[in-house]
Structure 1
Amino acid sequence: MSTAALPSDNGDVSADHPPGHIVQNLTRFGELLRRLGLDVGSGNILDLIRATEYVHIGRRGEFYQAARSILLHRKQDIPLFDEAFSVFWRKPKTGSTTMDLRSMGEPRRFRKPQVSPGRDSDVDEGLAGGGELDEDAVQQVDLTRTYSAQEVLREKDFSRFTGAELAEGRMLISGLDWDLGQRRTRRLAPGAGGDLDLRRTLRLNLKYGGELLELASRAPKEKPRSLVLICDVSGSMERYTRMLLHFIHTIAGGLDQLEAFLFATRLTRITRHLRYRSIDQAINEVSRAVPDWAGGTRIGDAVKTFNYQWLRRVLRGQSVVLIISDGWDRGEPELLARETSRLQRSCHRLIWLNPLLGSAGYQPLTKGMQAALPYVDEFMPVHNLNSLGALAEHLSQLGPERSPDRIYRPIRTPAPEPEPEPAPQPADRPIDRIRPMLPPTFRHPMWGKNP
């Protein structure tokens, strides 16, 4: 294909490229657009040919605008048209080329990049030789200078998230599978079980004249487990609060049976505020409903309020309870231990999520954590997106029974055994010096007589 006069970026037709078959090139350009999926007909090409009488074809910008206004009909085709225009109407190395028109765009769009370890010496040698980078060359990917933004975000602590990262983290959380499994109810449904369904058995055997030839059975009905979230929004948890509210709002949209509570010094139910589709509106409503936001922390009082006011109302059978707190408590440790033990006996699993557990040197040394940990089934971190992924995977693998070996027990040093006390020595009394084998030698005259 002999090349037509190519439009330059800022000027007229170059003298090195004399005018050629412009009509033939415009026709082939239209054929290229049709192969790429654009709706370009012969009438559009004729209109573009007539437009060249009024548009200076030597100016690239004017020719591009004319071709775009005539050949494009849909907004979504603009990026494809721009790429085809830049590839077809580029300045070739030589005066003519025999390369297939469609293949001119293929190397850049479909060819797999060659992966090789990057070396600065190769780039320096190319620049030192005065050569220019060939835009037709295969793209070289430098492994030493590439990274995954999502992987970095997954490892980043929630306390250092920016506004844009909060939105991206919310999208990643929504992609997780929050499946809590099924729970067995007391109701029976038709199924393969050990209980005989007499009513269905009689109905099935009517066709046999009343002879019991087919037996129908019943099995316990299964329903999805419910999730209860009790989140700490006190001052010590303030840097994690917003991301945790994003987490609660996201999983609330994916689970049918979810109850959410916030606490600092008192407990507040926020389940109905999570029904807003907008996360900003939901957070505004929640902040208005919680009077003790970023205040002190009384975990024991909050758990006691839940046990006495909400436990029988929101725990539907084998529910999973998540307590999200750092364990800093200003209340009584004995109260927290007693109420945590009561809550564990009433639910299927009690999982404590601590954002500080993600730190390398963290140890649960606070009195609140030490009081609650003996009654917690799992103690897990919740400081980044990877920890949330591990939580989702753990919830999907919950068994029907609580496993005793999964219960977290704090390591306690055994108390030293007390030394045995020496036996008390009898006191040196005068009466102890009397030999017991000798009978008394004196008896009162009135001994044994009534007065």
Structure 2
Amino acid sequence: MPTQPTPARPAADEKPPPMLARNVVHFVRVLRGAGLPMASARAVDALEALGHIDLGRRDDVRAALAAVLTAAPDERELFDAAFTLFWRDPDWENKLRALLLPKVQGGLPPPRRNNRLADALAARPVACAGAKPPASSEEHALRAHASFSAEERLRQRDFDTLSADEWRTLRHLIRARCLPLASARTRRLKAASHGNHADLRASARQAVRAGGDWTVWKYRARVERKLPLVLLLDISGSMSSYSRAVLYFCHALLQSRERLQVFLFGTRLTHATRALRERDPDVALAQLSAQVADWSGGTRIGETLAQFNRRWARRVLGARATVLLVTDGLDHDPGGALADEMARLHRFAHRVVWLNPLLRYGGFTPKARGVQAMLPHVDAHYPVHNLESLEAFGRSLREAPPGRAPERSGQPGMARSARPATTQGAIRWS
């Protein structure tokens, strides 16, 4: 627990107390571990700011640190929670007495727990450069046996069999290994220091400023833009665990400023992109589960695809967008509109990729009516049941060559879907 700040106000030219400086540096590390963009120079600025205020006033300390360590309004909530937990009141004896007093029922709800902040506070402190480990006179016998690491085992575990602690570890692994998406060159040009396209206007202006000297030339290069993705995620009861893992993956992509639109469907369609822009993925998923009424319910794929084609397809499926359809294909809709809506979606999108957790079974055969209706209208059919398959699919999105979509005459997706390449090796885009 950090040391209580001294009530005396130091002069502007005096150095802050050594213990206070250590606590401020540790507090900056906690904020960095919680996800705030925090450089090492922020600690120096914070110590300088504390030298101009009265350290005995807690509100002034909070305001000074917030002015230096936060740069956006959405960062203030996380800063306030970290300040309350880190700079605790050391008067623990009075708190113990307060616990013995009767509690008033119906008070304010407890503050929302932030898992990223809890992980940052639980991290082990970094040892000082000159510090020596404590001497111990006891002898400990160590017994070790060769085994795979927990991370390696987790990469091959099915999402439906993970515990709560494993889900937490999985979230950090997905965030650490999320790769940027593929990009494609556009027809637009931008100013560049070198290239194959000479900018005559800029070169002429430069020559006029240089007194008629044409030795310095200006160039223009093609603008590269990331290819957009549209995710249609099944949140029915049979897809609960797999949908949660895919949402962690989508949250990491959105935090990386990727061009991604996320839609959830069960018995109705829900646009979830704005909710997933929350910094903490657990908070984002909790908000979605509270807002979406059909979470872990039934599935009506045909009806929700019809709603997407009517309301959203022309808005989000431009500029060579790829549709990622994550579902097991078990449709409960008695109507036969699924095949027609899949064909319409196939005409709107540049590519339609189906991620099916049922492909984890080696003897998978398309016997369900919904699977048979969807297979002829997809360009690729991949598994998504563990971290290894999700990472392979993420690498394929990064390495996907920007080419034209294949011709869609007859049933082009059936031959590719019947024998998915990902069940036996790396993902290949055709």
TM normalised by structure 2 equals 0.58
Letter in 2 for 1:81: P
Separation of aligned partners in 1, 2:266 and 2:150: 35
Once residues 131 and 387 of structure 2 are traced to their aligned partners in structure 1, the CA distance between those partners, rounded to angstroms, is 34
Aligned to 2:397: 395
Distance 2:185 2:383 in 1: 29
CA contact 1:170–1:250 (8 Å) conserved in 2: no
Distance (whole Å) between structure 1 residues aligned to residue 152 and residue 174 of structure 2 = 14
SS in 2 for 1:262: strand
CA contact (8 A) 2:381 2:416 kept: no
> Is the 2:191–2:221 contact (alpha carbons within 8 Å) kept by the matching residues of 1?
yes
* Alpha-carbon spacing, 1:246–1:195, altered in 2? closer, same or farther (3 Å): closer
Q: Structure 1 residues 201 and 354, CA, compared in 2 at 3 Å: closer, same or farther?
A: same
Aligned 8 A contact 2:231 2:325 in 1: yes
Task: Quote the offset at 1:158 in angstroms.
Answer: 0.5
- Name which of structure 1's ranges 206-215 and 369-378 shifts more when overlaid on structure 2: 206-215
Q: Normalising by the residue count of structure 1, what TM-score does the alignment of the two structures yield?
A: 0.55
Structure 1 pair 180–279 and aligned structure 2 pair: CA distance change class (3 A): closer
Q: Matched residues in 2 for 1:161 and 1:412: separation?
A: 28
- Name the CA distance, whole Å, in 1 between partners of 2:303 and 2:334: 9
Structure 1: any 5+ residue segments left out of the alignment?
1-73, 91-107, 109-134, 414-451
**Aligned counterparts of 2:337 and 2:273: Cα–Cα separation in 1:** 26
Alignment correspondent of 1:175:
176
CA–CA distance in structure 2, aligned partners of residues 351 and 322 of structure 1 = 5
- Cα deviation digits, residues 202-258 of structure 1 (max 9, x gap): 324546987988876644421222322210011332343333333333333233422
Q: Write the mapping of 1:151-162 to structure 2, written as runs, cut at 5 A.
A: 151-162=152-163
Query: Secondary structure, in 3 states, of the residue corresponding to 2:225?
Result: strand
Flag as ranges the 4+ runs of structure 1 deviating above 6 A: 192-196, 207-215
Q: How does 1:28-427 map to 2 (within 5 A)?
A: 76=127, 81-82=133-134, 84-86=135-137, 142-143=145-146, 146-190=147-191, 197-206=199-208, 218-315=220-317, 317-331=319-333, 335-402=337-404, 404=406, 408-410=413-415
Asked whether the 8 Å contact 1:333–1:367 carries over to 2, the reply is no
| SS in structure 2 of the partner of residue 81 of structure 1 | coil
User: Given that residues 183 and 318 in structure 1 are in contact (C-alpha distance below 8 angstroms), is that contact kept between their aligned partners in structure 2?
Assistant: no
The aligned length equals: 289
Q: Which moved more, 1:322-331 or 1:296-305?
A: 296-305
How far 1:157 sits from its partner (Å)? 0.7
Q: Deviation digits for residues 245-277 of structure 1, max 9, x if unmatched?
A: 333333332334222110012110011111223
Shift of 1:198: 4.7
1:264-316 per-residue CA deviation (whole Å, 9 max, x = no partner) reads: 12110011111223333222211222122222222222222222222233345
Give the CA RMSD over aligned residues. 3.6
Which one-letter code corresponds to 2:324 in the other structure?
A: L
Q: Which has the larger radius of gyration?
A: 1
Query: Within 2, Cα distance between the matches of 1:383 and 1:222?
Result: 33
Asked if the contact 2:375/2:417 (under 8 Å) is kept, the reply is: no
2: CA distance, partners of 1:377 / 1:204 = 50
Cα 1:246–1:79 shift into 2, 3 Å: farther
> 2:168 and 2:313 mapped to 1: Cα distance?
33
- 8 Å Cα contact 1:201-1:215 kept in structure 2: yes
Q: Deviations over 1:108-142 (max 9, x none)?
A: 9xxxxxxxxxxxxxxxxxxxxxxxxxx6xxx7854
In 2, distance between residues paired with 1:398 and 1:142? 41
The amino acid across from 1:176 in the alignment is R
**Are the equivalent residues in 2 in contact too, given 1:303–1:340 (CA < 8 A)?**
yes
Structure 1, residues 366-417: CA drift from partner, whole Å, max 9, x if none?
A: 222222222222211110010111111111111111464996424899xxxx
Q: 2:177 is aligned with what amino acid? A: L
Once structures 1 and 2 are overlaid, which stretch shifts more, 181-190 or 390-399? Answer: 181-190
What do the CA deviations read for 1:406-451 (whole angstroms, capped 9, x no partner)?
96424899xxxxxxxxxxxxxxxxxxxxxxxxxxxxxxxxxxxxxx
Residues 39-79 of structure 1 deviation map (CA, whole Å, 9 limit, x = unaligned): xxxxxxxxxxxxxxxxxxxxxxxxxxxxxxxxxxx995799
* CA 1:309–1:412: 2 relative to 1, 3 Å: closer
Distance 1:394 1:170 in 2: 20
Q: What residue ranges of structure 2 are gaps of 5+ in the alignment?
A: 1-124, 419-430
Q: Distance in 1 between the 2:201 and 2:334 partners?
A: 57
Matched residue SS, 1:304: helix
- Residue 209 and residue 76 in structure 1: after superposition, are their counterparts in 2 closer, same or farther (change >3 A)? closer
Q: Secondary structure at the match of 1:229?
A: strand
Q: 1:184 to 1:303 in 2, by over 3 A?
A: farther
- Answer yes or no: is the 8 Å Cα contact 1:370–1:410 preserved in 2: no
Check the 8 A contact 1:198/1:216 in 2, yes or no.
yes
Counterpart Cα distance in 2 of 1:395 and 1:252: 14
Query: Is 2:331–2:370's contact at 8 Å kept on the other side of the alignment?
Result: yes
Q: 1:153 to 1:412 in 2, by over 3 A?
A: closer
1:85 positional shift: 2.8
- 2:352 partner letter: L
In structure 2, relative to structure 1, the CA distance for the partners of 1:201 and 1:337 (3 Å cut) is: farther
- The one-letter code matched in structure 1 to 2:157 is K
Structure 1 SS opposite 2:133: helix
